[in-house]
C-alpha cells in the first residue's frame, strides 16, 4: 500500500509538518517543537434517544490533486465516511471543505479539531473519565487577547488555566467562561506556542456553532458546539462545512494572529467621516446621575467632543427605542440643547435583548427558547442566582422579530437623527447548551452576526451616513459595522493602574484590525488617573473616547492637565482609520510576561507610499532616547507627535507635538515657526523661536507647564 504523504510548509523560519499516516502535526523551529497535535476532525454525536457517542476520523486515502491541494478520504468508524479538502498556502494550511455522510441518523453535539479517543493506558492516567476522548494540542502556552483580568492577561502557560472553556466568538458568560469584557472579541481565533513560535487557528467563515478553545489540564482543542441532541439538526445524514479551519504561524502571538487575519479580504478603509470623538455618559448613568443638561454643561467645559453617547438607561427599557420620560422629563429639550452646544448624538442599543416583548407584539415564537419551549432569560453575567436585570432574547429566525428590529432601528434614526448607533451585548445571549435559534443556519456565532447585520442594514437604509459602533477584531465581521469601540475598561481591574495596563494591551491588539482598514475609538474605564496613558496611546490608535463621569470611584475628577491633553488630541488627531503599527519599543509578550507598548507609531499609506503619521513616545529616565526608524528625533519624557497632513512626520508641513510628562523633545529640520498653545480659552498662542543655528527645534516641558500648555505646532519652511 502506498504510504500517505507528509504535508509540509516552511514559513517564518519555522517548519510545519503533518504526517497524515499518524495524524500528527508539528510546528518547529530548528528542531524545537512550538506546537504539536492531530488535525483530523472528530465528533461527539447523539442518537434519537440522546445517547452519546464519540468518533474520530481515520484516513482511508490521500489524493494529491496538485502540488498544494489534497483530498483526504475519511472514515468515522461505524458512523460514516467523509472527505476533507486541504490546501497548502504560502501563509499556512487551509481546510477548505469537510463533508460527512452518516450511515445512520446522527445529531452533532460538537465538532472538534485536536481530540483523540484515549487508549486504555491513557485512561488510567486521565484525571477524568467523563468522556472517552482527550484534547491533544500541546504547546508551551496560550495567547488569547485580553481574555483575563485583574490585571488584563493575554498569555498563559499550558498549566495555568486548568480545565477552562475560553470563548473565541460571541459566547462568553453564556458558556460559563471567564468574562473579561466584550472587546476584543469576537476573535474567531486562538493561538498556541511559546518561545520558538506561535500557531494561530480558526475558521475561515463564521460558524453555525459556538466556537471555543477547550483546555483540559495541559492540552487543548478547538470546539464547535452544536448540541443537536437538544435542537433539531438541519440534516441527520449529510453535513458539510466550508472553511472549517485555517492555520498560520509567526514568531510571536501578535505576528501569528496578524498572519491569520491577513488571509481575509480587507473591508475598508472605512470612511473618515465615521471617526468621531465621543463622551459616553455611562460613567454618569451607572452612578445614577441622569441630569442631561448638567452633563452637557460639564462636557462642554471639560471634554468637548464630536458626539455625546446616550448609553443604556436612555430608553424605557432595553431595546424599546422609546426615550424614558420618567427618568428624563426634559429629554427632547435636553437633546436639542446638546445639539445647540455643538454635539452630535449617538445612542446605545442592545443587539438582542428585549423586555416586555408582548408590548411590541412579540410572542414566545419570536424569542430564544429552551428545550421546554419557554423563553430564556439572560443578563450580562449569566448568573441565575444573584444576577439582576434579566432580559428576553430575540430570535432572528422569526420574521416578526426581524421586522421589529428593522422598524425599531428606523424609528430611532428617524426620531433622533443620531450620528451613530453604539451596539452592545452581542455576547449577552444564551448559548447552545440552553437555547438556539429555530433556523439552524442562524445558530452559533451566526446568531450575533445576523442580529448585527439586521440592525446595521436598517440603520443604513434610514440614514446612509450613520456610523455603526461595535467591537471585535476578526475581519469577517468588519463589513457589518464602521468603528471599533475598545469598550469600557471596567473589566480590566478595579484600579487606575490596571486600567492603564488593560488599555495598553487593547491598543496593541487593535492594530490587528486597524491594518485591515477599521476605524477605532479608544475609551476609558472608571478612574481618572489612567487618562494620560490612555490618551497618549490614542494619538496612534484613533479618536478620543471617554466613559468617565463627573467623579470616579476614588472621588477624583478631570485635572487641568488632563483637560489640556484631551483638547490637544481633539484638535490635532489623525483623521480616519486604516493604518499599520510601527513598533519602536514594544514587548509582544509570551508565556512568561504580558505584552506592553512603550513607544510606537502609526503608518498610513498615501499615494502608494507608507508614511509615519503619528507617534506615542515614552522614556521614563536617563539620557535622550532615539530610534533608528526616527532619524532626527530625540526625546526625554512622554510625547505625542502627529502630522497635520498626509506626509511623513519628518516631511509634513505642520507637526503637532503634545507633551504628556516633563521632558524635552528635539526635532532636526528647517523650521520657520514654533507656535506654543496655552490654555483653551480664546486659543491663546505664543510664537517662540524656530530652528536654532544647528537646524534643530527643542521643546522643553516642566511639571508646571503641563497645567498650562496644550501643545506645540511646528511649521516647516
pLDDT tens-place string over residues 376-417: 999 888 888 887 789 999 999 999 999 999 999 999 999 999
The share of the chain scoring above pLDDT 90, in percent, equals 84
- Residue 177's pLDDT is 58
Q: What is the pTM of this model?
A: 0.96
Instruction: For 192-202, write each residue's pLDDT tens digit.
Output: 999 999 999 99
pLDDT recorded at residue 682:
44
What's the pLDDT tens digit per position in 23-46?
Answer: 999 999 999 999 999 999 999 999
pLDDT tens-digit profile of 326-349?
A: 999 999 999 999 999 999 999 999
548 grid coordinates: 468617565
Q: Can you tell me the mean pLDDT for 349-373?
A: 96
Mean pLDDT of the chain: 93
Distances (CA, A) of 552 to 94, 100, 334: 48, 56, 24
Instruction: Please compute the mean of the pLDDT values over residues 516-535 and round it to a whole number.
Output: 94
Residue 383 has a pLDDT of 83
Q: Which neighbouring-strand residues pair with 611?
A: 604
ω into residue 515 within 30 of 0, thus cis?
no
- Of 215-224, 256-265, 486-495, 598-607, the poorest mean pLDDT is in 486-495
Residue 93 has pLDDT above 50, yes or no: yes
φ, ψ of residue 179 to 5 degrees: the values are -80, -75
Name the 3-class secondary structure at 255: helix
Whole-number Å distance between alpha carbons of 392 and 378: 6
Nearest to 166 by CA among 245, 156, 595, 474: 156
- What is d(CA 520, CA 151) in angstroms, rounded to the nearest whole number? 23
**pLDDT at residue 683, as a whole number:** 58
First to last CA, the chain: 77
pLDDT of residue 362: 97
> Which of 163-167, 204-208, 593-597 is the least confident region?
163-167
Contact status, residue 330 vs residue 417, Cβ threshold 8 Å: no
Instruction: Give me the pLDDT at residue 135, please.
Output: 98
Please give the average per-residue pLDDT across 436-444, as a whole number: 98
Predicted pLDDT of residue 268: 67
pLDDT at 673 (0 to 100) = 87
- What percent of the chain lies above the pLDDT cut of 70? 97
Residue 581: pLDDT over 50: yes
What confidence tier does 690 reach under pLDDT thresholds 50, 70, 90? low
Q: Give the pLDDT mean for 173-202.
A: 84
Q: 234-256 pLDDT, tens per residue?
A: 999 999 999 999 999 999 999 99
Residue 335 vs residue 685, higher pLDDT: 335
Q: What is the mean pLDDT of the segment spanning 576-604?
A: 96
Q: Dihedral through CA 509, CA 512, CA 517, CA 518, nearest 10?
A: -30
Q: Are 404 and 393 in contact (CB under 8 A)?
A: no
Does 269 have pLDDT greater than 90?
no
Compute the Cα dihedral for 619, 587, 257, 191 and give only its sign: negative
Amino acid at each position: 500500500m502506498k504510504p500517505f504523504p507528509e504535508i509540509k510548509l516552511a514559513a517564518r523560519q519555522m517548519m510545519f509538518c503533518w504526517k497524515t499516516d499518524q495524524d500528527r502535526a508539528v510546528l518547529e523551529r530548528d528542531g524545537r517543537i512550538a506546537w504539536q497535535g492531530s488535525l483530523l476532525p472528530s465528533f461527539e454525536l447523539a442518537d434519537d434517544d440522546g445517547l452519546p457517542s464519540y468518533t474520530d476520523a481515520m484516513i482511508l486515502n490521500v489524493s494529491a490533486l496538485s502540488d498544494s491541494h489534497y483530498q483526504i478520504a475519511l472514515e468515522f468508524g461505524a458512523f460514516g465516511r467523509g472527505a476533507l479538502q486541504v490546501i497548502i498556502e504560502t501563509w499556512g494550511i487551509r481546510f477548505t471543505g469537510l463533508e460527512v455522510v452518516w450511515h445512520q441518523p446522527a445529531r452533532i453535539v460538537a465538532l472538534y479539531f485536536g481530540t483523540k479517543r484515549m487508549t486504555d493506558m491513557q485512561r488510567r492516567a486521565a484525571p477524568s473519565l467523563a468522556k472517552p476522548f482527550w484534547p491533544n494540542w500541546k504547546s508551551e502556552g496560550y495567547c488569547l487577547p485580553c481574555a483575563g483580568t485583574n490585571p488584563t492577561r493575554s498569555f498563559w502557560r499550558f498549566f495555568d488555566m486548568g480545565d477552562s472553556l475560553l470563548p473565541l466568538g460571541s459566547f462568553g458568560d453564556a458558556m460559563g467562561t471567564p468574562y473579561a469584557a466584550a472587546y476584543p472579541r469576537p476573535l474567531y481565533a486562538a493561538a498556541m506556542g511559546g518561545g520558538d513560535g506561535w500557531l494561530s487557528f480558526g475558521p475561515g467563515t463564521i460558524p453555525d456553532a459556538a466556537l471555543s478553545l477547550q483546555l483540559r489540564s495541559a492540552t487543548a482543542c478547538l470546539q464547535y458546539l452544536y448540541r443537536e441532541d437538544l435542537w433539531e439538526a438541519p440534516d441527520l445524514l449529510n453535513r458539510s462545512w466550508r472553511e472549517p479551519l485555517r492555520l498560520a504561524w509567526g514568531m510571536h502571538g501578535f505576528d501569528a494572529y496578524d498572519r491569520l487575519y491577513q488571509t481575509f479580504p480587507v473591508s475598508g478603509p472605512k470612511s473618515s467621516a465615521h471617526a468621531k470623538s465621543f463622551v459616553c455618559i455611562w460613567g454618569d448613568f451607572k452612578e445614577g446621575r441622569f441630569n442631561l443638561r448638567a452633563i452637557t454643561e460639564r462636557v462642554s467645559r471639560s471634554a468637548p467632543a464630536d458626539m455625546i453617547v446616550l448609553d443604556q438607561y436612555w430608553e424605557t427599557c432595553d431595546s424599546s427605542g422609546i426615550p424614558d420620560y420618567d427618568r428624563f422629563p426634559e429629554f427632547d429639550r435636553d437633546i436639542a440643547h446638546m445639539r445647540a452646544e455643538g454635539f452630535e448624538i449617538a445612542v446605545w442599543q442592545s443587539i438582542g435583548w428585549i423586555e416586555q416583548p408582548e408590548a411590541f407584539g412579540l410572542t414566545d415564537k419570536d424569542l430564544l427558547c429552551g428545550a421546554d419551549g419557554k423563553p430564556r432569560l439572560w443578563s450580562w453575567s449569566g448568573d441565575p442566582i444573584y444576577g439582576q436585570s434579566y432580559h428576553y432574547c430575540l430570535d432572528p429566525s422569526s420574521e416578526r422579530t426581524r421586522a421589529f428590529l428593522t422598524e425599531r432601528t428606523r424609528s430611532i434614526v428617524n426620531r433622533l437623527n443620531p450620528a451613530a448607533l453604539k451596539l452592545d451585548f452581542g455576547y449577552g445571549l444564551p448559548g447552545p447548551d440552553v437555547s438556539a435559534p429555530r433556523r439552524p443556519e442562524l445558530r452559533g456565532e451566526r446568531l450575533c452576526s445576523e442580529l448585527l447585520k439586521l440592525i446595521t442594514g436598517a440603520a443604513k437604509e434610514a440614514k446612509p451616513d450613520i456610523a455603526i459602533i461595535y467591537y471585535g477584531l476578526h475581519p469577517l465581521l468588519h463589513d457589518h459595522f464602521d468603528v471599533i469601540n475598545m469598550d469600557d475598561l471596567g473589566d480590566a481591574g478595579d484600579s487606575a493602574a490596571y486600567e492603564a495596563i488593560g488599555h495598553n494591551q487593547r491598543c496593541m491588539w487593535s492594530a490587528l484590525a486597524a491594518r485591515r482598514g477599521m476605524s477605532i475609538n479608544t475609551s476609558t474605564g472608571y478612574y481618572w488617573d489612567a487618562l494620560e496613558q490612555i490618551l497618549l496611546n490614542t494619538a496612534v490608535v484613533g479618536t478620543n473616547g471617554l466613559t468617565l463621569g463627573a467623579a470616579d470611584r476614588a472621588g477624583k475628577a478631570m485635572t487641568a492637565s488632563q483637560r489640556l491633553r484631551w483638547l490637544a488630541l481633539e484638535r490635532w488627531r489623525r483623521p480616519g482609520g486604516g493604518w499599520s503599527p510601527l513598533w519602536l519599543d514594544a514587548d509582544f509578550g509570551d508565556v512568561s510576561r504580558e505584552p506592553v507598548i512603550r513607544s510606537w507609531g502609526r503608518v498610513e499609506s498615501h499615494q502608494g507610499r507608507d508614511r509615519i503619521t503619528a507617534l506615542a513616545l515614552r522614556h521614563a529616565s536617563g539620557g535622550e532616547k532615539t530610534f533608528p526608524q526616527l532619524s532626527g528625533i530625540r526625546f526625554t519624557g512622554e510625547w505625542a507627535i502627529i502630522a497635520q497632513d498626509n506626509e511623513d512626520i519628518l516631511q509634513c508641513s505642520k507637526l503637532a507635538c503634545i507633551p504628556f510628562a516633563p521632558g524635552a523633545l528635539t526635532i532636526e529640520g528647517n523650521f520657520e515657526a514654533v507656535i506654543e498653545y496655552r490654555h483653551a480659552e480664546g486659543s491663546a498662542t505664543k510664537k517662540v523661536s524656530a530652528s536654532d543655528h544647528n537646524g534643530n527645534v527643542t521643546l522643553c516641558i516642566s511639571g508646571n507647564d503641563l497645567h498650562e500648555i496644550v501643545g506645540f505646532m511646528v511649521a516647516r519652511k
